[in-house]
Structure 1
Amino acid sequence: MKYLVPALAGLALVACQGETTDTAADAPFVPDVSSTNIEAHIRFLASDYMQGRDAGSDGYEIAANYVASQMRLLGLEPAGQDGGYFADVPMQDVTADADYNQFTLDGETFAHGNSVMVSTNPSVLEAEVTGELVFVGYGISAANRGHDDYEGLDVEGKIVVVMGGVPGEVFEGLSEERAHHGSSTTKRNVAAAHGAIGMIGLTSWSDERLAGIVENFGSRPSTRLTVATGPSGYDQVQVSANTSAELSARLFEGAEMSLEEVQAAMEADEPTYPRFELPHTVTMRQRTLSEPFTDPNVVGMIRGTDPELADEYVVLTAHLDHIGHIDDDMRASGACRSSDDEDAICNGAVDNASGVSIMLETARTFLEEGAPRRSVVFVALAAEEKGLLGSEHYARNPTVPADQIVANVNLDMPVIVYDFADVVAFGANHSNLGPIATRAAARLGIAVSEDPLPEQSLFVRSDHYNFVRQGVPSLFLMTGFSSPDPRWDEGEGFMGFLNTHYHTQTDQLDGELEVLFDQGAKFANINYMIAREIADSDELPAWNEDSFFGNLFGQDAE
């Protein structure tokens, strides 16, 4: 109850939007979002009362109620469950049962932490599998690149042995495809599609390093979706594990090639990719300890006015959660880089109170300028920091008809700490949303730049990617790297924030970090114009013919 007073105070801070006029009758409309409103939202959501908005915390619940209250004040239609603004995300904190988990190779048993790390399974909480081994190289099926590690192999009912990473020669210059195929989720799903019952990932870790990783991290809970919404690959590949370098080499004893020979072939100037059966049988068992909980996504909607388009939905998203408090476990894991032992709260002003604030003010501008032709859904997402869980659940279980969602525009950590001169629209090269983003930014004299950090694979690391996986053309907006501010030459700007303040206690207001609310308003203006054109356009959002993700996940994908 003690949080109610500051919550109401936060509501009172939000100012009314001022009226705007065009400088010329024929000039295209440019909105004028209030920087005061942006500031009010950020000040509340990034206050110490939220305690860092961690998933499953009271602070996140307070923040969710704030957003729902703002949606109601604005006049957004409730679009969650049971006629309200909340749509629950069923989650669980999962932990490996170290005393139960084990790995047996040809009759010799290795305990969890002794040369092997057995993974949790959020979908099948206890399982044991026994099978012959098949080495499947990198475990990648990429027909569009002429590379299929499963071609000619029968892995039905067997345990696949997988090398980490991707073949560099195949994916050279293709950072987004590299990230997709290199993820453990994709490799697990591919193994499952071929009928494997287990998966072993080879590592270069020594026995000692693996034991240390299990000791330091293996006993800590991680957050996953519950059984009902978990990835399907877990249901088929029920046990997976990572083996140390020493145990990995033993799996190849007696085979047609040693592990050392395989690695040399894969890393040669003209690489080859051996794949073959291994003359061993392995039994793996896992038990996953689960503590269920729920957090809400917060969902509001503006109903479209066009009778022919109103049942099509443009979804705008921004994650509401952050990482909570600093503790010894977080320091050890690297989840937060502690910068102040006295202040334990990671407030997340930029990440991502700024994105939620901009989304709310985008909704306000829609309402002030008149409802769009298509319906627009606004979702403040839960548990992004835990692995994009709120968006994964919503994209699979939306509160509007899934086949009528035509586009997603996502806001994650607009770094409004410098005067930005460009934006990056991840996904712009994959669909006809790209030209829309370019036109919107140009109205404010802002350029749209290509991905400045391709090695970071940011396209697959934010909430929009879960909509992409459901076949929905999507954009993820980020402030760019150019600025008229001369401090940029001194290391300020995007990388300055990333290297100094990201996931630390200094991502807060009224400290050493200066958050520029006028830049938040500028970013909101661009976001609104993008969303408005998508919602009002005669043209339906569509994937480009050459889009890897469109061909993989789009409606016409096999």
Structure 2
Amino acid sequence: MIRPLLLCAASLVLAACSNDNATTATASDGLDIPDVEVAALDQQIMIDMTRTLSSDEFEGRAPGTAGEEKTVAYLIEQFQAAGLEPGNGDSWVQEVPLVEITASNHAPLTIGGGERKLSYDFASDWVGVSYRPDGSTSIADSELVFVGYGINAPERGWNDYEGLDMTGKTAVVLVNDPDYETEGLEGTFGGRAMTYYGRWSYKYEEAARQGAAAVLIVHDTFPAAYGWNVVESSWSTPQIYAQDGENPAPVTSMNGWIQKEVASEIMAAAGQDLETLMTKAKQKGFKPVPLGLTASTSYDNAKRTFSSQNVIAKLTGSSRPDEYVMHTAHWDHLGRCTPNEEGDDICNGAVDNATGTAALVALGKAHAQAGAADRTLVFLAVTAEESGLLGADYYAANPIYPLDKTVGGVNMDAFLMAGPANDVTVVGGGKSELDRFLDKALEAEGRVATAEATPEKGYYYRSDHFAFAKRGVPMFYLDGGEDLVDGGKEAGAAVAADYTDNRYHGPDDEFNEDWDWSGVMKDLALFYRLGRMMAMSTSWPNWVEGDEFKATRDESCAAADTGC
């Protein structure tokens, strides 16, 4: 996934990442942030691997296809040639067992208990999927409860479920988090910047922990960051997820969405006003509202199981080999997709994410040639990112290297061919002490940090690093800069808009022999410097006070005999 970035002319500069604060912040935080030199980075590897991975021969690199078989074999070959070691014992791969569920024969969503029964059509009015491997799903007369934003955040003094037994009930939930409409970044939930509590995935997970039978998220285009068409297309197609291992997390019978107009009608039938409830839900101390209505629907599920693979390599550390620095990128793309005007139906995924996959190998080779760092460097090419970060999430749930011994890491998700930039875009800045490492790296590179222009869209929670972050491991997510050396912000916005409008997730995201790789290599040097800094440091950077992931990291570290 690449974010449709750079389309907003205005941007904020992160005070936490400014060069002026670098020395002071490092000293006050007591972090060991060593100076490192950037080794030679092989541009030809980037070119050759991107060209090969995005060729028609690889058929769009969809998991569970012949394209995957070719991709995995090629990556193993390239990691070996780069001088790296197998990352899973003697093996280069981690098996990722997947389940695909295809729903059909959806009954309408009916709402009972009011003066008249309400009925809503699948796809146009509502969508719903199941992540249980059952032959059918049935929601029968499940009590509806409006639970505001569906958040339980003890560290922020917020619990939308307080005093409520959700067993067997259906939660009606608002998208995003309570202060997304504020202009700045101050607020209980980060102001304008979305926290994980605002993501739809969190809302489903929390409702399941509360014992809910089903969840219906109220779609609203601005706080969701996409229209109903995206919801409809994403939740009305086959759903792929990782097979349950031991001690699986609870899941609801149905996770769904409803149109905002549908939600308004349901609230009116309950004698409530949606806009009034939305306002109340933004206030601390909000209490859940039983609606006195019930929801019912049903549909069939067809299940297919198959296995995909994460590819993993490492460079063993010289003095602290049992401490790890992670590098991630997803190798998969969409496979075959809607044809373009020429009839080409292969989504080649050259930028997204053959470039990031190639970067894993190029970085691995540079580190290997520079010699082992103190800590072990891990290079993880994950599967099924396009299906919901599944490969990364499976690894993080079943880590080869313990997460309490994983210092942190960097994620690389698509390099735009825009030429060199004066800045780098920081997604999720201000969340962890990794910002101090970035301060020093940018100072050495002669660049500055620019905050993401649309923090309310929650892009930090939408790529592979997030699987580690939500389990407590601090991770970088950086994008190419907005302020290009040649043409400034206007040129940067034009490059991003051209890619988003004409190639993103389509058959025209293809390799171009005329690409300018200079900006990519500049970004790659920054990733090298950050990884090497973490690998040579003695520090264990943590999340900042109040961040939603800090308690998880603290708990993990407290239970560890060694490591963080």
Which TM-score band applies after superposition, normalised by the shorter structure? 0.7 to 0.9
Tell me which residue corresponds to 1:183: 199
> Are 1:327 and 2:344 matched, yes or no?
no
Q: Taking structure 1 as reference, are residues 98 and 449 closer, same or farther at Cα in structure 2, changes over 3 Å only?
A: same
> Are 1:305 and 2:318 matched, yes or no?
yes
> Are 1:65 and 2:57 matched, yes or no?
no
Q: Taking structure 1 as reference, are residues 420 and 252 closer, same or farther at Cα in structure 2, changes over 3 Å only?
A: closer
- Shift in Å, 1:284: 4.4
Measure, in 2, the Cα distance between the counterparts of 1:270 and 1:190. 18
Measure, in 1, the Cα distance between the counterparts of 2:76 and 2:441. 28
| Contact map agreement 1:422 1:482 (CA 8 A) in 2 | yes
Q: For 1:539-558, list aligned pairs within 5 A.
A: 539-551=539-551, 554-555=554-555
Tell me which residue corresponds to 2:131: 122
Measure, in 2, the Cα distance between the counterparts of 1:246 and 1:374. 54
Tell me which residue corresponds to 1:288: 301
Tell me which residue corresponds to 2:27: none
Tell me which residue corresponds to 2:43: 35
Tell me which residue corresponds to 1:263: 275
> Are 1:93 and 2:85 matched, yes or no?
no
Tell me which residue corresponds to 2:446: 445
Tell me which residue corresponds to 2:531: 531
What residue identity is the alignment partner of 2:90? G
The 3-state SS of whatever aligns with 1:492 is: helix
Q: Taking structure 1 as reference, are residues 499 and 113 closer, same or farther at Cα in structure 2, changes over 3 Å only?
A: closer
- Shift in Å, 1:183: 2.3
- Shift in Å, 1:28: 5.7
Superposed CA deviations along residues 354-374 of structure 1, whole A, max 9, x for unmatched, are: 111122111111111110111
For these two proteins, the number of residue pairs brought into alignment is 508
Q: Taking structure 1 as reference, are residues 178 and 231 closer, same or farther at Cα in structure 2, changes over 3 Å only?
A: farther
What residue identity is the alignment partner of 1:194? Q
- Shift in Å, 1:140: 2.4
The 3-state SS of whatever aligns with 2:346 is: coil
Measure, in 2, the Cα distance between the counterparts of 1:348 and 1:482. 25
Tell me which residue corresponds to 2:424: 423
Q: CA RMSD in A?
A: 3.6
- Shift in Å, 1:390: 1.0
Measure, in 1, the Cα distance between the counterparts of 2:351 and 2:477. 16
Q: Taking structure 1 as reference, are residues 179 and 302 closer, same or farther at Cα in structure 2, changes over 3 Å only?
A: same
Judge which range, 363-372 or 428-437, deviates more.
428-437
The 3-state SS of whatever aligns with 2:542 is: coil
- Shift in Å, 1:459: 0.9
- Shift in Å, 1:427: 4.3
- Shift in Å, 1:298: 0.4
- Shift in Å, 1:524: 2.0
The TM-score normalised by the length of structure 1 is 0.80
The 3-state SS of whatever aligns with 2:555 is: coil
The 3-state SS of whatever aligns with 2:322 is: coil
- Shift in Å, 1:469: 0.8
- Shift in Å, 1:428: 4.5
Measure, in 2, the Cα distance between the counterparts of 1:249 and 1:557. 45
Tell me which residue corresponds to 2:224: none
Compare CA radii of gyration and give the structure with the larger one: 1
What residue identity is the alignment partner of 1:239? M
Structure 2 unpaired stretches of 5+: 1-34, 222-226, 559-564
- Shift in Å, 1:89: 1.4
Specify which of 231, 238, 261 is matched with residue 253 of structure 2: 238
Tell me which residue corresponds to 1:503: 505
What residue identity is the alignment partner of 2:503? H
Tell me which residue corresponds to 2:11: none
Structure 1 unpaired stretches of 5+: 1-26, 329-337
Identity %: 28
| Contact map agreement 2:111 2:293 (CA 8 A) in 1 | no
- Shift in Å, 1:270: 9.5
Measure, in 1, the Cα distance between the counterparts of 2:426 and 2:233. 38
> Are 1:156 and 2:167 matched, yes or no?
yes
- Shift in Å, 1:322: 1.7
Q: Taking structure 1 as reference, are residues 246 and 305 closer, same or farther at Cα in structure 2, changes over 3 Å only?
A: closer
The 3-state SS of whatever aligns with 2:425 is: strand
| Contact map agreement 2:345 2:507 (CA 8 A) in 1 | yes
